[in-house]
Amino acid sequence: GSVVGLADGEIRRDPTAADAALVVSDAPMLTGNVPDYGEAETAEQSVCVALLGQVPVRAGAAVSAGDLLVATADGTAVPADTQDGCPPVVGRALEDGAADDTVTTFVNARAETDRATLMQDLDQRLQETVDAVQADNDALRERAEDLEAENQRLQETVDALRERTGNLEAENEQLRERLDAVTDRLANLEAGPAEHAPADD
C-alpha cells in the first residue's frame, strides 16, 4: 500500500519528485516484466507495483469515497484538494478512510489524464484567486482615490475657514479700535469742559 514514484525508469521512494506515482502491491493477481535475477541481484531489489485494479493504499489524511488521491513525500496518498501544487496522481478512492488507514483505491493508466485535469482545476482556482485579489485591489484603489478627494475637499474647507478666521480677527481688531475711540470720547464727555482760573490784576 505504500506509494512510490517512477523516474527515469527507476522506482523512487519519494513519489513527489517522480514522473508518476505507483502503489506497491503485496499480493498481485498477475505480474509481468519479472526480472531475471543474476548472481549479484536478489528479489529484494525489486517490488511489484500495481498498474490497474483495486489496490489498498496507505492514506496520509482523511479520505472520502470518490476523492482523487495524490502522492505525498512520505509514501502515502491524500485527497488532491488538500495539497498545494500538482503532485502525481495515485488513483481514486473507492471507500472512506481515516488518516493512517489502508484505503481501497482504483488505479489505472488514466492517472496522467487525471493529473492533467487536476492541473487545469488548479490553474482555474489560481486564476479565480488572482481575479479576486485584483478585484480587491481595484476596490481598495477606488476607495483610496475617494479618500484623497475627500481629503482635498476637507483641506479646501480648512483653508476657507482659516481665511475666514483671519478676516474675522482683522474685523475684530477694527471693532476694538473703534470701541477704544468711543470709550475715549465718552470719558472726555464725562469729564466736562475745562475750567479756566481768573487772571490776576
Query: What is the DSSP annotation of 54-78?
Result: EEEEEBSS-B-TTPEEEE-TTS-EE
pTM of the model: 0.51
* pLDDT higher than threshold 60 for residue 38: no
Predicted confidence (pLDDT) per residue in 132-191, tens digit: 999 999 999 999 999 999 999 999 999 999 999 999 999 999 999 999 888 888 888 877
* pLDDT higher than threshold 90 for residue 120: no
What's the pLDDT at 5?
Answer: 81
Query: Which residues fall within 8 angstroms of residue 14, CB to CB, at 6 or more apart?
Result: 5, 73
What's the pLDDT at 40?
Answer: 46
Looking at the chain, the whole-number percentage of residues with pLDDT higher than 70 is 79
CATH fold group of domain 3-107: Virus Head Decoration Protein; Chain: A, (2.40.300)
